[in-house]
Structure 1
Amino acid sequence: MARTLFITGASSGIGAETARQAASKGWNVGLFARSKDKLDTLAAEIGEQAMVLPGDASDLSQQREAVAHLAEAYGGVDAAFANAGTGASVPGAEDGDPEEWETMVHLNVLGLLWTVKAAIPLLRESRGHMVLTGSAAGRKHIKGSVYSATKWFVHGYGGNLAEEMRDWGGRCTVIAPGMVDTPFFEEAKPDKLKPEDVAGAVMYALEAERRANVQEVFVMPTD
């Protein structure tokens, strides 16, 4: 029976590429993001293995509804990928924009927690897998970076969640990429990682033997 993966931030970049790679390996994929038109295009490309689930990751009720629809359609949820995130246009404590900080914390921290909260009951049933998008920036100090601090949270929480899920046979992985050439950045980064590199790391963790919990994967550009 095909396994089912719920993905936030699925409309582009790492999320979209993970959906493609998962579907190619036989997974059903729930595509969750605000951009319904992009999700529709991606679902048309993938085919019947994909389900479009428009919504805002910073809203717990919308995530719960989406996960429930996905489980009803495919008979359960085996994994969830909390991938939605955003950065800040102006770095630093003194110059940073408090409104940007609020948006970023709501999505990068609370949005990730909402994915966990929405999916965890179904993952317990399937002894499933939670994947979180961290960052290499979440393992080092970057001058005045609030974004980096939100990713420190992801790494700390990911380890804590892995311990909780271990009690019932579940797994949790933090994927920590360096700079990736995605729409996250206003300018192209052609010499950096590609979304497919990070998606490959997600699939490595998801496809690992049940005896192996791959808790963190760092993927860095060679340049």
Structure 2
Amino acid sequence: MSKTLFITGASSGIGAATARAAAHTGWNVGLFARSRAKLDELAAEIGEQAMVLTGDATVYEDQRDAIERLVDRFGQLDAVFANAGKGTSKSGTENGNPEEWKAMVDLNIMGALYTAHLAMPYLRKTTGQYIVTGSAAGRRHIKGSIYGATKFFIHGFAGNLADEMAEWGGRCMVVSPGMVNTPFFDEEKPDKLHPDDVAAAVMHALDAPARAAIREIHLMPTG
């Protein structure tokens, strides 16, 4: 039976690139995001290995229903990639927008926690993996970056979860890229990392032998 991967934030950027890379190596992929049109287009490109699962990562029930549907179709869950995330339009604490902070924390933190909480019972059955998108901004202090603070949480959580999952043979990895040329930014940044670069790092962890627990892959643009 082919392995199955659930991806949040799958409609574009890193999530879509990872879905393509995983499907190319034989994985079934559950594509979870809010944009049905984008997911349908990606699924048509990938083929029968892909399942479209629309929903909001900040809504626990949406993720629960999506994972249940994915397992119903493919029989098991071998890995999840908690990739959905967002930033804010204004930086800094004094000049920031608390409503934007709330939306960002709900997605970057609670969304990733929901994925982990819901996936664990399934991943125990397959001795599976949890992968989450961190950031270079979660590895160093950046003046006034509330976004970076959410990624500090992710890096800390991933390390703690790795120890928790290790008790039953599961693995947890945080992928922490520097700037990536994705729709996250308003302007193209072709000299930075590409989504395929991050997807390759995720696949390295997914394809690693059971004896190797890859806990973090940190990528930066050259120079």
How far did 1:165 drift? 0.3
Shift of 1:80: 0.2
Q: How many Å apart are 1:118 and its aligned residue?
A: 1.3
Distance 1:56 1:63 in 2: 7
* 1:117 maps to amino acid: H
How many Å separate the matches in 1 of 2:117 and 2:37?
A: 27
In the other structure, the counterpart of 2:24 is 24
Displacement of 1:190 in angstroms is 1.1
* CA shift for structure 1 position 105: 0.2
Alignment-mate amino acid for residue 161 of structure 2: L
Find the aligned partners of 1:130 and 1:155 in 2 and give their Cα distance.
13
Letter of the 2:83 partner, please give it. N
Q: How does 1:37-186 map to 2 (within 5 A)?
A: 37-186=37-186
The Cα of 1:28 is off from its aligned counterpart by 0.1
> 1:197 offset after TM fit, Å?
0.2
Q: What displacement does 1:183 show?
A: 0.2
Letter in 2 for 1:15: G
State the AA in 2 paired with 1:106.
D
2:207 aligned with 1:195: no
C-alpha distance after superposition, 1:153-192 (max 9, x if no partner): 0000000000000011100000000000000001111110
| 1:15 counterpart = 2:15 | yes
Shift of residue 46, structure 1, vs aligned partner: 0.1
After superposition, give the CA deviation of every residue in 1:68-107 in whole Å (9 maximum; x if it has no partner): 0000100010000000000011000000000110000000
1-structure distance, mates of 2:187, 2:119: 34
- Sequence identity percentage: 63
Cα separation, 2, equivalents of 1:219 and 1:140:
14
Please identify runs of 4+ aligned residues in structure 1 that moved more than 3 A.
none
What amino acid does structure 1 have at the position aligned with 2:160? N
Any idea what SS the aligned residue of 2:81 has?
Answer: strand
User: C-alpha root-mean-square deviation of aligned residues, in Å?
Assistant: 0.5
Unmatched runs of 5 consecutive residues or more in structure 2: none
Does residue 210 of structure 2 align to residue 215 of structure 1?
no
Cα shift readout 1:122-172 (whole Å, capped 9, x = no counterpart): 001111000000001001000010000000000000000000000111000
Q: Which amino acid in structure 1 is aligned with residue 68 of structure 2?
A: A
Looking at structure 2, the residues matched to 92 and 126 of structure 1 have their Cα atoms a distance apart, in angstroms, of: 43
Unaligned runs of 5+ in 1: none
